[in-house]
């Protein structure tokens, strides 16, 4: 259904629509809440190609080659063998089809098998019920809660810290 492959500089166009859609960015990077102009989005997108210690990959539909999002591992520490998982499916028409589950499985395999990480963590908004459920299905366990760490729709809500260790990782 999907194929993970490197993003090109020409792949920025869908992000103009996605980042300006409140529903799409509601539980995403806080940075996305502040990016409103084409120039700001271009600046952020360009930074993806120079970030150090980050594995970033595009999520494309296999049959059409259409970009529907991106994912990866940021903050990779070669000393601590750890990193932070992220995923962003911007194309709402692809939500609820199991794509996030497939992407997560492929990124975890890359993180543990290729990058030789021992720990992959993430943070997820408490109100992102689907995300929390999907991460638990992927093997992540709750490590803690960052109380009122996110402000959306005029209210504060918690961020959940989850992680998966190499010793707990099970390939499907």
- Residue-wise pLDDT for 90-114, tens only, equals 999 999 999 999 999 999 999 999 9
Give 171's pLDDT tier (boundaries 50, 70, 90). confident
Torsion of CA 127, 128, 130, 133, to 10 degrees: -80
Q: What is the pLDDT of residue 100?
A: 93
pLDDT recorded at residue 152: 84
Q: Among 76, 90, 89, 85, which residue's Cα sits nearest to residue 108? A: 85
List, for residues 74-85, the tens digit of each pLDDT value.
Answer: 999 999 999 999
Q: Is the pLDDT of residue 172 over 80?
A: no
Tokens describing residue 9: 């500089």
């Amino acid at each position: 259904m999907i194929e993970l492959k490197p993003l090109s500089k020409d792949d920025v166009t869908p992000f103009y629509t996605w980042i300006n859609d409140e529903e799409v960015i509601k539980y995403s990077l806080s940075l996305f809440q502040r990016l409103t102009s084409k120039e700001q989005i271009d600046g952020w997108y360009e930074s993806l190609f120079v970030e150090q210690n980050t594995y970033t990959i595009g999520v494309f539909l296999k049959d059409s080659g259409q970009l529907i999002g991106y994912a990866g591992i940021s903050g990779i520490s070669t000393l601590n063998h750890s990193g932070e998982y992220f995923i962003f499916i911007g194309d709402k028409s692809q939500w609820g089809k199991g794509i996030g589950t497939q992407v997560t499985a492929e990124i975890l395999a890359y993180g543990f098998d290729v990058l030789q990480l021992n720990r992959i963590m993430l943070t997820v908004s408490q109100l992102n019920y689907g995300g929390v459920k999907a991460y638990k299905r992927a093997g992540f366990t709750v490590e803690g809660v960052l109380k009122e760490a996110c402000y959306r729709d005029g209210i504060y809500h918690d961020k959940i810290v989850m992680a998966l260790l190499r010793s707990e990782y099970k390939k499907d």
